[in-house]
Amino acid sequence: MQILIKNGRLLDPESGTDKVTDVLIEDGVVTMIGADLKLPAPKKRENGRAVGADDDVISDESRIIDASGCWVTPGLVDLHVHLRDPGLTYKEDIGTGAEAGAHGGFTTICAMPNTKPVIDTPDKLNYVRFKAAALSPIHVMQIGAITYGQKGEQLADITGLVDAGAPAISEDGKSVMDARIAMEAFKLAAHLGIPICAHCEDRNLVNGGVVNEDANAIRLKLPGIPNAAEDVITARDLVLAAETGGHLHLCHVSTAGAVEMIRTAKAQGVHVTAEVCPHHFTMTSDDIRTDNPQYKMNPPLRSAADRDALIEGLKDGTIDCIATDHAPHAANEKFGSMKTAAFGISGLETAVPLAITRLVEPGILSPLELIRRMSSNPAKAFNLMEEYGDGKVAVGNPADIAIIDPAEEWVIDRKKFVSKGKNTPFDGWKVRGRVKCTICEGEVVYKDGGFYND
């Protein structure tokens, strides 16, 4: 397979490249980057019949993509996705979730372990790995659980999970409340060289809350979740990371207090990385006008001051990554009151336009810096760049590439989501920026209609 991407604006954070150029892909690998590249004579088909070498010929084995006006970026990497497989496949499964990822420009997604059963043994992890190999158009990495059954009582087979391919461990959906067990996990993770992905939430402080604890909660007559619920565990886990030398990766940061603690910890040499979700840097609790379950997520939408702190953290590098926390649900689970509906929104297919609209268009991040936070930084956080070549476009590297039109305006329509989960508060939003093509290991796994020059 040969693909020649012409006239695109290559944004490669790892090399610092930001220029209009061509990219040639052959047999799954980037083979040339430069101006005015020509498509080499295609290889012969298996039956021996030669294919013409004319640049205008588009065959099964050679394609030219005109990327004029578009960004050509490393395939995006999402460190925080819920694929609901095994056990909850009515919400999502590995195939549909991975297809949604490809639609969103992602070539690698990392699945959280809070499935049914929980991914707490190598055999369970291998179920995901083998199914992804059969069904997924992109790379699916399965994160392992910290404790058996995510009960917080006994460490899972973490060594076995890592040997089976887990890039990290997490108790996502909750925190390991027992600090002694959490410290044991940090020590083992440090020994194995993997990060602990922490969902920071003191369940006692949550106390049944469903929205941010502020005037909007009072207006809506809904129980609130204080910032302290996140901040207390954030502080604890930063201390444990400092004490053990472990790598702490903080999931879906939502409070100004957490941002400041991360900033201070980094200055003190603590090994910490952090992610923020598009919904948290885009909306606030003020956007919740009615008791609408589409706005129910965990952590909740916070105040304007919190949102502004997240944006500043992205801008100054305190927050390393943008992740979606893609959390698909069936329609009946996001119906009725926020008091009873499920937490979470579907995020893989809206991340790019929301980030361009809210961060690039206002000049908060440059295009290169945005792509850094969606590709190379996540890849480095989970050691995926070193091991698999994720997060960069370079000669000799696997051809995992997204092509994005940053100028296209469109309206989000949840009915058109590839994901089974249509749950989103962004339905009907006018946004700018659209993924036009996703290439994984040199294969076109998603393309917008009419994008090829045939």
Going by pLDDT thresholds of 50, 70 and 90, the confidence category of residue 46 is low
The confidence score (pLDDT) of residue 230 equals 98
What average pLDDT is seen over the chain? Answer: 95
DSSP H or E segment with residue 439: strand 430-440
Whether residue 64 contacts residue 92, with contact meaning beta carbons closer than 8 Å, is answered with: no
Whether residue 436 contacts residue 70, with contact meaning beta carbons closer than 8 Å, is answered with: yes
Higher pLDDT, 283 or 450: 283
Do strands 71-74 and 2-12 pair parallel, antiparallel, or not at all (unpaired)?
A: parallel
Q: DSSP label at 319?
A: S
Going by pLDDT thresholds of 50, 70 and 90, the confidence category of residue 43 is low
Going by pLDDT thresholds of 50, 70 and 90, the confidence category of residue 193 is very high
Q: Which residues face 437 on adjacent strands?
A: 403, 447
The confidence score (pLDDT) of residue 448 equals 87
Among the residue ranges 5-9, 52-56, 112-116, 356-360, the one predicted with the least confidence is 52-56
DSSP per-residue letters across 245-260: T-EEEE-S---HHHHH
The confidence score (pLDDT) of residue 44 equals 60
Counting every residue written for the chain, the total comes to: 454
Mean pLDDT confidence for 96-119:
98
Whether residue 304 contacts residue 281, with contact meaning beta carbons closer than 8 Å, is answered with: no
Q: What are phi and psi of 419, to 5 degrees?
A: -60, 150
Mean pLDDT confidence for 258-278:
98
Q: Residue 210: pLDDT above 50?
A: yes
CATH 2.30.40.10 residue ranges for the chain: 2-71+398-447
The confidence score (pLDDT) of residue 450 equals 35
Whether residue 350 contacts residue 278, with contact meaning beta carbons closer than 8 Å, is answered with: yes
Of 104, 64, 59, 52, the C-alpha closest to 81 is: 104
Going by pLDDT thresholds of 50, 70 and 90, the confidence category of residue 397 is very high
The confidence score (pLDDT) of residue 41 equals 78
Residues above pLDDT 70, as percent of the chain = 94
Fold of 76-388: TIM Barrel (3.20.20)
Spatial distance between the Cα atoms of 170 and 237, rounded to a whole number of angstroms: 13
Residue 269: left if φ>0, alpha if ψ -120 to 50, beta else—which one?
left
User: Which residues are designated catalytic?
Assistant: 325
DSSP H or E segment with residue 215: helix 215-220
pLDDT tens for each residue of 49-105: 444 444 443 444 568 999 999 999 999 999 999 999 999 999 999 999 999 999 999
Of 425, 215, 251, the C-alpha closest to 334 is: 425
Q: Does domain 2-71+398-447 have CATH number 2.30.40.10?
A: yes
Mean pLDDT confidence for 215-240:
98
CATH 3.20.20.140 residue ranges for the chain: 76-388
DSSP per-residue letters across 153-217: SSB--HHHHHHTT-S-EE-TTS----HHHHHHHHHHHHHHT-EEEE----HHHHTT--EESSHHH
Mean pLDDT confidence for 262-291:
98
The structure's pTM equals: 0.95
